[in-house]
Amino acid sequence: MPTSQIKLALLMQCAAGLHPGSWLHGGATRGAANSIEYYTAMAQLAERGLFDLFFIADTPAARTENLEAWSRYPLFMNSFEPMTLLAALAGLTRHIGLGGTASTSFTEPYNLARQFASLDHISHGRAAWNVVTSANAYVSLNFGLDALPPHAERYERAREHVAVTRALWDTYEDGAVQEDAGTGQYFDPAKFHVLDHRGKHFRLHGALNIARPPQGYPVTIQAGASDIGRDFAAEIAELVFGTATDLAEGVAFYADVKGRMAKFGRDPGEMKILPGLSVVVGRTRDEARHKHEAMQALMHPTVGRFFLSNDLEVDLSGLPLDEPIPPHLIPKEAQFHKAYFDQIVAAIRERNPTLRELFMSYERGKSTMLGSPSDIADTMQEWMEAGAADGFMVTFNQLPGDMAAFVELVVPELQRRGLYRRSYEPGHLRDRLGLRRPPNQYAGSAGSGSAKLP
Ligand SMILES: Cc1cc2nc3c(=O)[nH]c(=O)nc-3n(C[C@H](O)[C@H](O)[C@H](O)COP(=O)(O)O)c2cc1C
């Protein structure tokens, strides 16, 4: 059964890889961030590895402060606009899903529905939308706001946004565009539905000027971690990216989010949960460890210190690198990200590392899985069998090297165990993920629609 097999998504966040030092690595490609040839090679490599999804993370803003650190780690500082990039890749790949991030706080449903409907047609049913509410204050400054709206309000707008967007995708029923030379009608007006929506966040009277997407709706991705974010995922998401760093946490997250689906009238099978997994594979464990150490050595102290300062919520800029952080400087508790803060405090308590040792070993909200191909496959299998995962959102420190090693070494091992496909199944992205095609909410009804709102 394809649906019980491992689903794999590839996270593209920084062109050269997720590690801050990736662009300095000997295997990095100069100019990668602005090169369609580079992204094509990455998508085609992921397609060779039979990945389900090539996924582009995004935030519509560059940082404008702390440039001494950000200039050394250009995360989101120089990146393609996702929809433009994915439309280009649609023509250069054949099977892999194409996932893009777009914020419900900083887009209007009409533009977004058009863009994703277009991408779904252009890619022959391979589009997916990562629904984010944007959590960084600097984004709001680009859109006429002094600060982000409060968390709950962002999620309220997100729910309305998704409902309106889906209603727009349902403008045309399936098969409404008939191009019937006999009647002279290009489309059947009885299968065309005008939306009249007056909500708290959006007002719209209109209809989408593109036929229903091949998948009905592009696949909906979500990655909410908070209570309200998990509820939102349970209500609308078909793919969920998790952040568990150990198996017990993964099992709890999986049960919690799927357990919330019933109250929204959904079946747990309508969602696939993919925990994030950072993989460094070598032919042997030693080779994997050496790769990782070589990568860590490329992290500039300014970058390491900056991220640690952020997450420990204290200024570490004046401290010597090769001594432990004086205990009296460490705040008693977190004001912002408790999970990250607690992770660092626990590491200090357990090992009393120097500042340099601490930032060299700190991995925010994730743990890198190092090992041989069978080590990596063992862990994946364990998570699947324990009920923590339907697959994984895989991240690589360095591209293309780490992904090429994964495709060459881990994919055959998973296939040998019968856990992974040997070729792409026919159909659309949602068929390959084992997700049902959503019916058109207006099918069979005449006249105007009204977006189904929470
Ligand atoms: C794998 C993964 C990818 C994410 N990608 C993005 C992204 O591209 N853009 C973004 O603004 N947020 C992204 N997020 C953040 C989530 O959308 C969400 O805001 C975060 O998990 C916090 O959840 P909460 O909003 O429920 O508190 C991502 C989260 C995860 C786990």
Q: What are phi and psi of 54, to 5 degrees?
A: -105, 110
**What CATH number matches the domain at 2-283+372-432, 3.40.50.920, 3.90.930.12, 3.40.50.970, 3.20.20.30?**
3.20.20.30
pTM, full prediction? 0.95
Q: Kindly compute the dihedral angle of the four CA atoms of residues 420, 424, 430, 435, in this order, to the nearest 10 degrees.
A: -40
Nearest CA to ligand 1 atom 18: 224
Exposure letters 134-167 (e unless 16+ CB within 10 A, then b): beeeebbeeeeeeebbeeeebbbbbbbbbbbbbb
Residue 353, judged by CB atoms within 10 A of its CB (0-12, 13-18, 19+), counts as: middle
Q: From the CA of 134, how far away is ligand 1's center (Å)?
A: 7
Q: For residues 389 and 406, what is the distance between their CA atoms, to the nearest angstrom?
A: 19
Whether the Cβ atoms of residue 214 and residue 121 lie closer than 8 Å to each other: yes
Atom of ligand 1 nearest to the CA of 11: 1
**Residue 3: pLDDT band with limits 50, 70, 90:** very low
Atom of ligand 1 nearest to the CA of 139: 11
Pairing type for strands 127-132 and 368-371 reads unpaired
Q: What digits encode the pLDDT tens for the residues 356-399?
A: 999 988 887 666 899 999 999 999 999 999 999 999 999 999 99
Q: For residues 379 and 103, what is the distance between their CA atoms, to the nearest angstrom?
A: 33
Number of Cβ within a 10 Å radius of residue 379: 16
- Host H or E run for residue 28: none
Q: What digits encode the pLDDT tens for the residues 280-308?
A: 999 999 999 999 999 999 999 999 999 99
Three-state DSSP at 449 gives strand
Nearest CA to ligand 1 atom 11: 134
Nearest CA to ligand 1 atom 27: 226
Q: From the CA of 99, how far away is ligand 1's center (Å)?
A: 14
Q: Which two tokens stand for residue 438?
A: 């959503």
Q: From the CA of 396, how far away is ligand 1's center (Å)?
A: 18
DSSP state of 128: E
Q: From the CA of 356, how far away is ligand 1's center (Å)?
A: 28
Q: From the CA of 93, how far away is ligand 1's center (Å)?
A: 26
Q: For residues 180 and 85, what is the distance between their CA atoms, to the nearest angstrom?
A: 35
pLDDT at residue number 282: 97
Q: From the CA of 57, how far away is ligand 1's center (Å)?
A: 9
**Which amino acids bring their CB within 6 angstroms of ligand 1?**
11, 57-59, 101, 130, 132-135, 223-226, 229, 241, 243, 276, 393
For residue 129, the one-letter residue type is W
Q: For residues 129 and 166, what is the distance between their CA atoms, to the nearest angstrom?
A: 12
Residue 349, judged by CB atoms within 10 A of its CB (0-12, 13-18, 19+), counts as: exposed
Strand partners, 222: 240
CA angle 401, 18, 363 (to 5 degrees): 120
CA 442 to chain CA centroid, Å, is 30
Number of Cβ within a 10 Å radius of residue 357: 15
- Closest by alpha carbon to 113, among 168, 59, 155, 157? 168
Across the chain, mean pLDDT equals 94
Testing ligand 1's pocket by substitution, the residue of 55, 241, 256, 257 carrying the most ligand atoms inside 8 A of its CB is 241
Nearest CA to ligand 1 atom 1: 241
Atom of ligand 1 nearest to the CA of 151: 25
Nearest CA to ligand 1 atom 28: 223
Q: What digits encode the pLDDT tens for the residues 106-159?
A: 999 999 999 999 999 999 999 999 999 998 888 999 999 999 999 999 999 999
Residue 442: C-alpha distances to residues 195, 226, 268, 446 (Å) = 10, 33, 25, 8
CATH 3.20.20.30 placement within the chain: 2-283+372-432
